Structures are given as C-alpha cells and as structure tokens.
Structure 1
Amino acid sequence: MNDLFPPAPTMPGLFDSPVSPMVRIIDTETAGQKLAEDAVIEIGSVDLDLSTGAISNPMQTFCDPAGVPISPGARKVHHITDEMLAGAPPFAEAVRPFATETYAAQRADFDRSRLRLTGRWLCTYKLALRAFPDVRAHGLQSLVKYVPLDLSSVDGMLAGLHPHRALFDAVCTAVLLRRIADELMPRCHDLRDFLERAERASNEPALLAKLRFGRHKGVPIAEVPSDYLEWLVAEPEMSADAVFTARRQLALRRVRGERALPQAARTAL
C-alpha cells in the first residue's frame, strides 16, 4: 500500500503556536489483572527530542499496588517482587512527575488506559507497522532485532536493566520512535504534520502487514484475494485490526479498478 502514512485531514492555522519536539516515551508494568481491577506497579520513561534525536531524562518509580495481587503470569514476565514494592508511593503520587503534553508507548492503548494521563498519545507499535511493514514481527524486542535498532547510544541508560522492566522498555521504545521518525518524517511537511499524522494513525486500529490466522496466515495483505478480504469485513466477530486492514486494502483496490486481483497483479504490488 502506498498510503501507509497518509496526510491528516487538518487545516493549518495562521496563529498556531510552535509545536514542541519533546515526546515522553513511557512504559508501565502492572499486576496483570483485567483493566478495571489492574494496578500499575512500575512506571519508567525517557524523553525524546524529535528535532535532534537526543534521548534524555530517564525516570523510574515503583507504585504501591494498593492490595491488588500480582498475577503469577505478570511476575514471570517482569520479576517484580512484593519486597521490591515495599514502601513504594501510591499510584496517584507516583504518576504525577510523569505528566507532560505528548507521550509515546509501545501498545499505547494499554499504558494510556492505566496511567490516565491526558495529552497526545503515539503508539509505536501501530506506527512501526506503517514504517516497517515487512519486518517479521512488531513486538518491541522483535523490532530491536529485525529492523534492526542500534541501541549503542543508550547503553548507559540500559546498564543493569533487562527487558520487560519499565525503564528498559521505555528506552528501547524511544530508540524505536526515533527510527520511525527517521523513516516517516521525510513524508511530512514539518514536525506538526508528522505529529498529527502519527496521532491519527495511533488512534486508528492497527494496519496489519500480514494476516495472523486462517488460510492466508502470514501472507502480505496486498497478496490476499479480495473475496477473502470481503469475508473478513463481513464477519461480526472479526478483530477491529483485521477489519480495518481489509477495508483499507479493498478501498485501495477500488481506486485502482481491481477486484479479483489475479496472481500476477498480486505479485506486482
């Protein structure tokens, strides 16, 4: 698809205030419960200057889970113990220093729903799908490996940390967003345009590069037959990401005057 990062439908204002290039990349570890019952137990963040690529201001804190039990599955991932949380501040106090104007997170819907910080949110997972659609997988550590991401500039921040802890993942996500901006910013008029496009893409369902199920599992979307995409759209229990992706691909084919998409045409896309 040629419109993976299309312009945002906004009109430039004559008196728009300057846009800050600073984005706070943030990550949370939680008790691993359902959203309504979950508790944030760790927050980590760094700041990325999109104008220079500089990553700075690492912050990290534990949070008191207020009696919410940490699930065994969550403990197995982040290895945070009750002893590590002893004396931690309550969430409302712990989250206060992290407030800013623009945030980014991998799978931002998860962090945004738990942190409840107001502002602009960017999702590096959804943006990576548009910047690097051909990468094998789009989880954070997969992107580090397969893009690949050069972490040498943040070695000092990562020292003593490990994946699935809040600050480690925030630092890696900052490097990811910097690389995404390198890829997508040249398609934009300016920083404001990039942020508006990125925010819109982050608020939409994920635009998948490949299907993850069914007889076309692992096949690039551009090569999936139109009748199968039409079936996806019509299925009432289909995921929002799959439906959104199928609709976008079908709309693109309509613009091109295609429907059946014979094999030769699929290969050419």
Structure 2
Amino acid sequence: MVEVGWTDVRLFPTGWEIERGPQSVLVNPGMAISFPAMAVHHITDEQAASGISPSQAKQHVRAGADILCAHNSAFDSRFIGTDRPWICTFKAARTAWPDMQSHGNSSIRYERGLCLGDDRSQPSHRAGPDTWVTAHILLDLLKIYQPETLIEMTGRPVTLIKVGFGEHFGKRWSDVPDKYLDWILNKSSMPSDPNREDDVHTARLEVSKRAAKASTSSAPTSAASTHDPDAWRKEMERF
C-alpha cells in the first residue's frame, strides 16, 4: 500500500449522492516500491516515505463507513481488513452490463458516460481519482439494485456471457466446445484458482445446461410428460 483514497457516498432524503471526496493520502509501505508498480502510479520511494502508516490508512478508509466499496473488492479488502460488508463494482457491473467491451474502471466510465470532463477523475491509477470514478459507477448501479443486492452479488460468482481467455477468447460460453469445458473443469488448474471463480462457475453452469437439454431431448415423450424448464438447476446441484 503506497496510497489510499476514498470518496464518501451517502443516502440522502433525495437519494444516493456523493457526500464528499475524492480524498487521498500517501502511505509508507515500509519497503521499496517496484519499478513496474511505480510506472503505473508514479509514486516514488521518496514520496511514499513521507506518508502515514498502513494502520493509519486503514483507519481513514474505515472511519464512519457502514459498507465499503471497491472496483475488485477481493483485492482491496485484503489491505483494509474489516468485518464490514463490501460491494464490488467490478462484479456488479459484469452482472448489470454483461455485454460491455470491458469492465475496467475507466472503460465503464466512458461507456456509461460517467463524470466525463471532471478533473477529479484524473490522473488515473491514483487512489483519489480512481475512487471518484468508482463512486460514480456505484451510483449508477444503485439506480438498478439495492445495496443488499450488490453485497449479495459481491459474495457469489458471476455468470459470464463471453470467454475472456485462451483459444476461445471472445466466444459466447454457449458456443464453447464440450471438450474445452471438460478441460477447464477437470484438467486445468482453474478450479483451484480463486481468481478464475467466475470462469469455472460459468463452465459448470454450461455443462449442466447441456446435460439437462440432452436428457430432455433423449427422453421418450408422451402426452402426459411435461418439460421442466429448471432441470438444469437440479443438474447444477451435483457440482
């Protein structure tokens, strides 16, 4: 942690609005900053040396918050360390707007037309401006979902529309060959990688749907038989 930033969002009588921000402070990590990291945020060791301690930074972020939010909360929550609930705008955006070209913070900003021309969103990859953009994404999501729903989304895998890796990159999951789905679930290291949770979840779901469809199409039909549209859900319970 070399810098921490925050923007406060609050429920007013008129609705959800930004209360204040963006704010940020430099943090002394107690170690040298790698050059690749420095190339992203442009914070030098000399600058960070004048910063507050990581424990003070955590207190700044947690102070007065009922819910914490980040764009990829699985990453940020490891640094903040709190038992308060989190909202992940990255996961929620993938659920709300699955066909976006990208679900990166700045990409969502441009595609949704959020805080454009606002100097408080610059420079990117700095803690304060990034929280300003995330706050606007959160406000956009709060037009669709209640906070409790966003918290629930954060805690569960996302069902993806398109493959974001490998030889089938860009394809819809429904068009991925059976053999490749089998490789993901039974031969790759992805099921044990927490960062691939959404991919594995979607692959399992697709396998279950296909198995249920095959079972339905191969079963003998009769006037008394009825089609169960939720058969794939029962198949999914096997995993």
The amino acid of 1:46's aligned partner reads: T
The one of 83, 95, 99 equivalent to 1:130 is 95
Partner of 2:173: 221
After TM superposition, the structure 1 = structure 2 runs for residues 247-258 of structure 1, keeping only pairs within 5 Å, are 247-252=204-209, 257=213
Partner letter of residue 69 of structure 1?
A
Aligned residues with identical type, % of pairs: 29
Counterpart mapping for 1:112-123 below 5 A: 112-123=77-88
8 Å contact from structure 1 (residues 64, 86) kept in 2: yes
Match for 1:149: what amino acid? G
Q: Which amino acid aligns with 1:127?
A: A
SS of 1:55 mapped into structure 2: strand
Q: Distance in 2 between matches of 1:145 and 1:258?
A: 42
Q: Is the 8 A contact 2:185 2:204 kept in 1?
A: yes
Structure 1 or 2, whichever has the larger Rg, is 2
Residue 77 of structure 1 pairs with residue 29 of structure 2: no
Residue in structure 2 matching 1:172, options 133, 146, 168: 133
Q: RMSD value over aligned CA atoms?
A: 2.6
Q: What is the CA deviation profile of residues 20-65 of structure 1, one whole-angstrom value per residue up to 9, with x for unaligned ones?
A: xxxxxxxxxxxxxxxxxxxx11110112235623112223111111
Q: Map 1:15-26; keep pairs closer than 5 Å.
A: none
What amino acid is the match of 1:150? L
Q: Which has the higher contact order (CA 8 A, sep 6+)?
A: 1
The question of whether the paired residues in 2 share the 8 Å contact of 1:211 and 1:218 is answered with yes
Which residue of 1 is the match for residue 118 of structure 2? 155
User: 183, 192, 199: which is aligned to 1:242?
Assistant: 199
Kept in 1: contact 2:94–2:103 (CA 8 A): yes
Tell whether the 8 Å contact from 1:129 to 1:209 is kept in structure 2 after alignment. no
- Partners in 2 of 1:178 and 1:205 — Cα distance? 22
The alpha-carbon deviation at position 69 of structure 1 amounts to 1.0
Q: Structure 2 CA distance, aligned partners of 1:134 and 1:226?
A: 23
Alignment of 1:98 onto 2:61: yes
Q: TM-score, normalised by structure 2?
A: 0.76
Displacement of 1:82: 2.5
User: Which residue identity lines up with residue 97 of structure 1 in the other structure?
Assistant: H
Aligned to 1:16: none
Secondary structure of 1:53's counterpart equals strand
In structure 1, distance between residues paired with 2:140 and 2:214: 34
Amino acid at match of 1:168: P
Q: Distance in 2 between matches of 1:180 and 1:69?
A: 37
C-alpha distance in structure 2 between counterparts of 1:252 and 1:55, whole Å: 42
Partner of 2:25: 61
Q: Following the alignment from structure 1 to structure 2, what is the Cα–Cα distance between the partners of residues 156 and 78?
A: 17
1:130 maps to amino acid: T
- Aligned-partner SS, 2:9: strand
* Conserved 8 A contact 1:64-1:91: yes
Taking a change above 3 Å as real, the CA distance of residues 47 and 250 of structure 1, as seen in their structure-2 partners, is farther
